[in-house]
Amino acid sequence: MGGISSIVVSGKEIVLLAVAGLLSVSGVIAIGILLFGDFGETEGRILATTGLLAAYGLLALPAAMLVDRGRLPALAVVVLALAMAGASLAVSAIWTSGPSDAHGKAVGTLTAFLVASAQVAALVLRRPERDRTVIRWLFVISSVLAVTVAAMFSLMLWAEFDSERYGRVLGALVVLDLVAVALQPTLSRARPKATAIPLQLLLESDEVRDIEVLAPDLAAAAAKAIRQVEREGHHVVRLEVADVRGRSRDN
């Protein structure tokens, strides 16, 4: 276990240090060119390269945070792979004289799916262990919309068709995705914090039931616990707080 943990930690540190170093070097080079460069073709390419690497590095950052928290490693791998492939093709397009149309389309496709996967990764990082049903559904909807938008954008690139209706639908889906993304943290913060309150219930059958209820106060917890047990066909005779030190959680 210790060896595996050290490997995971070192991998996380490598990703974070790589992103931090990339951003730092990109910033230094960009400042140097802006202050002292002659803005020739080479300087322009260097400036564009540093900007692209910084942008792809930022999009890859959610993957490093997923590794750090040990959540969805497969998604982290997808984000990192898309970021590396997209950055490589984008930089090669800058330094290639007259890159092909297929090259540009490949960059656009990889970047679209990178943005979609980075969005999903960022929302996974935001989610607590327990979330309300409506927020869970919003997460699913936003994830599906992100992938759908990326696929439709890629299809538009490769098929090379110009349809106003298609563009309108694509734009509408982008807006829906943005709304679904924005609603998740908004609704999560709008609700009151709940406390995990452990209760002990004595049933009419002399059975003692220990239950932990998430509620804003003791009265709400008691009502919630009683309703839960009565739905199972039992009757509560007595209710006591098993431990008054409930721990704070999201409802």
Q: What is the DSSP letter of 125?
A: H
Beta strand extents in the chain (DSSP E only)? 194-203, 208-215, 236-241, 247-249
Q: The tokens 């943290």 sit on which residue? A: 185
CB 201 within 8 A of CB 171: no
Average pLDDT over every residue of 131-142: 85
Segment of 96-100, 138-142, 183-187 carrying the highest mean pLDDT: 138-142
Grade residue 127 by pLDDT with cuts at 50, 70 and 90.
confident
In degrees, rounded to 5, the angle at the alpha carbon of residue 238 between the alpha carbons of residues 234 and 242 is 105
**pLDDT at residue 113 is higher than 90:** yes
**pLDDT at residue 193 is higher than 70:** no
- pLDDT given at position 250: 41
Q: Residue 107 to residues 28, 82, 84: CA-CA distances in angstroms?
A: 26, 10, 11
- In terms of residues, how long is the chain? 251
State pLDDT tens for residues 53-77.
888 888 888 888 888 777 788 888 8
- pLDDT given at position 19: 65
Grade residue 157 by pLDDT with cuts at 50, 70 and 90.
confident
d(CA 192, CA 104): 48
- pLDDT given at position 118: 93
Q: Please choose, from the candidates 62, 64, 51, the residue with its C-alpha nearest in 3D space to the C-alpha of residue 23.
A: 51
Q: Residue 193 to residues 56, 129, 189, 214, 215: CA-CA distances in angstroms?
A: 36, 14, 9, 9, 8
Query: What does the block give as tokens for 54?
Result: 């910084």
Cβ atoms < 10 Å from Cβ of 70:
11
| 13 vs 186, residue with greater confidence | 186
